[in-house]
Amino acid sequence: MENVLIKELYRKIEEYNGKDIRISGWVRTIRASNAFGFIELNDGSFFKNIQIVFEKSLDNFKDICKISISSSLDIEGSVVLTPEAKQPFEIHAKNIIIEGNSSVDYPLQKKRHTLEYLRTIAHLRPRSNTFSAVFRVRSLAAFAIHKFFQDKNFVYVNTPIITGSDCEGAGEMFELTTLDLSNVPRNNDGDVDYSKDFFGKETNLTVSGQLSAESFALAFRNVYTFGPTFRAENSYTGRHAAEFWMIEPEIAFADLEDDMILAEAMVKYVIKYVMENAPEEMEFFNKFVDKTLFDRLQNVVNSDFGKITYTEAIDILEKSNEKFQYEVKWGIDLQTEHERYLTEKVFKKPLFVTDYPKDIKAFYMRINDDNKTVAAADLLVPGVGEIIGGSQREERLDVLEARMLELGLNKEDYWWYLELRKYGETKHAGFGLGFERIIMYVTGMTNIRDVIPFPRTTGSAEF
């Protein structure tokens, strides 16, 4: 007898109607009388449960009546349409095998739990409605991103996680080592003797795969990374994790304009893919997590994203009557309050802000002709602020070297990065998208801890 996923059953009910099938899953609710009972069963393949009807005629009727929530069952039964009832169909059980009876102290009983509490049972929370939906959407969004780039012939590149250098010249990093911390070896100068470490030198966890991705873009033209990145920044906000996944496309023979076109297309694609492939989950988020969700996402999908320069943005902010916590003047890094004002109040749709002052941006961004700004573009979206940071990269060897000198970066550390400018350099660009940021955006979840299976944040690496 065919073992069918509950999702399959919902999607192809006509095909299964009247047939005998096997299904397996965990009990969400059970209620029984002396003669018969009902089980809401969920197998994790689908947001919705399936109703099982079972009768006294079953040998183990009494045992079934006593099982607890989250017990696992194997069921054989026939599929029966129920056009009059709340649920479109149900299973009339012919045989129920109790695989695992859940203990009565199961912590996820059918009542409301706070998200904070659910974080303490991260091994069980995917069995709740909310997290079942969150992590299915996360999975679909990941696939959407791969499909978007693969359909466009982009090459997926796994840039290294372990790195010998701080690529962005910014951001606190985790050091990794096989040295014995209780007895760190020293060299003759009394310094840590990294020659004894696994790689024979100091190594860290990557904060960005961009520089490596550039080298691949200058061979494959269009590439993307999608992997974990790390920041050892002390932060207790709901928006920062020490370990998160990032998508970093890099395109050659392309400028900032091409970069923005790509970013806009990708964001729209991911939203549409999730809306189409997880309609039940998205309904749930819109109903119970963020009632403005559908309006917000429709607005993104249907808008032509706006575009202004940083200088124009500062001008708008200065002329506004809004009271900001942080002072506005040319040269500042835009704060979330500024970003949200621009995208929510002024443009009322997603908005690229371009050409930021070079002093607040990274060394690899292409210097504009004004010699004051760089060809950067951040995408701001209503409800969040910045979601994507991108730029055209400095492809001119002399300009790049001068900039690195200015910033005190050591040329030798970047020998191979500089060589990319020597052997057939071309204009190229790319951007970075924090994967969790987009998951938060499409689900309405507001804490990054609730969109990562087992989150790692300052002071916390549980499970």
CA angle (407 as vertex; 339, 417 as ends), nearest 5: 95
Q: Is 124 in the site for a copy of itself (CB under 8 A)?
A: yes
Q: Is 461 in the site for a copy of itself (CB under 8 A)?
A: yes
Q: What are the strands of the beta sheet with 351-357, ordered from one edge?
A: 155-156, 222-230, 243-252, 428-434, 385-392, 373-381, 351-357, 306-309
Cα within 13 Å of Cα(236), Cβ side: 1
The nearer residue to a copy of itself, 245 or 431, going by C-beta atoms, is 245
Residue 342 Cβ vs a copy of itself, minimum distance, rounded to whole Å: 32
Q: Is 447 in the site for a copy of itself (CB under 8 A)?
A: no
Q: Is 106 in the site for a copy of itself (CB under 8 A)?
A: yes
Which of positions 60-79 make contact with a copy of itself (CB under 8 A)?
A: 70-72, 74
Q: Is 408 in the site for a copy of itself (CB under 8 A)?
A: no
**Is residue 403 within 8 Å of residue 394, measured between CB atoms?**
yes
Q: Is 3 in the site for a copy of itself (CB under 8 A)?
A: yes
Among 63, 322, 359, 419, binds a copy of itself (CB under 8 A): 419
Distance, in Å, from the CA atom of 372 to the CA atom of 358, rounded to the nearest integer, reads 6
Among 64, 267, 317, 420, binds a copy of itself (CB under 8 A): 420
The nearer residue to a copy of itself, 90 or 214, going by C-beta atoms, is 214
Among 49, 163, 392, 443, binds a copy of itself (CB under 8 A): 163
Residue 349 Cβ vs a copy of itself, minimum distance, rounded to whole Å: 28
143 CA to centre of own chain: 11
Would strands 155-156 and 222-230 be described as parallel, antiparallel, or unpaired? parallel
Closest CA to 255 of 427, 36, 14, 47: 427
By rule CB under 8 A, what string of x and - marks binding of each residue 351-390 to a copy of itself? Answer: ----------------------------------------
The nearer residue to a copy of itself, 81 or 184, going by C-beta atoms, is 184
The nearer residue to a copy of itself, 356 or 435, going by C-beta atoms, is 435
Question: Residue 356 corresponds to which amino acid?
Answer: Y
Q: Is 196 in the site for a copy of itself (CB under 8 A)?
A: no
Residue 252 Cβ vs a copy of itself, minimum distance, rounded to whole Å: 8
Interacting residues of 68 by C-beta distance below 8 A, sequence separation 6+: 27, 101, 102, 103, 104, 106
Among 264, 394, 395, 450, binds a copy of itself (CB under 8 A): 395
The nearer residue to a copy of itself, 446 or 458, going by C-beta atoms, is 458
The nearer residue to a copy of itself, 280 or 462, going by C-beta atoms, is 462
Which of positions 44-63 make contact with a copy of itself (CB under 8 A)?
A: 44-45
Q: Which residues lie across from 270 on neighbouring strands?
A: none
Q: Is 298 in the site for a copy of itself (CB under 8 A)?
A: no
Q: Note every long-range contact of 172-180, with CB atoms under 8 Å and residues 24 or more positions apart, other chains counting.
A: 172/231, 172/232, 172/233, 173/204, 173/205, 173/207, 173/230, 173/231, 173/232, 174/204, 174/205, 174/230, 174/232, 174/242, 175/202, 175/203, 175/204, 176/203, 176/204, 176/205, 177/203
Among 117, 324, 330, 416, binds a copy of itself (CB under 8 A): 416
Measured in degrees and rounded to the nearest 5, phi and psi for residue 234 equal: -65, 115
SS3 162: strand
Q: Of 56-64, 80-88, 334-342, 414-422, which part binds a copy of itself (CB under 8 A)?
A: 414-422
Q: Is 117 in the site for a copy of itself (CB under 8 A)?
A: no
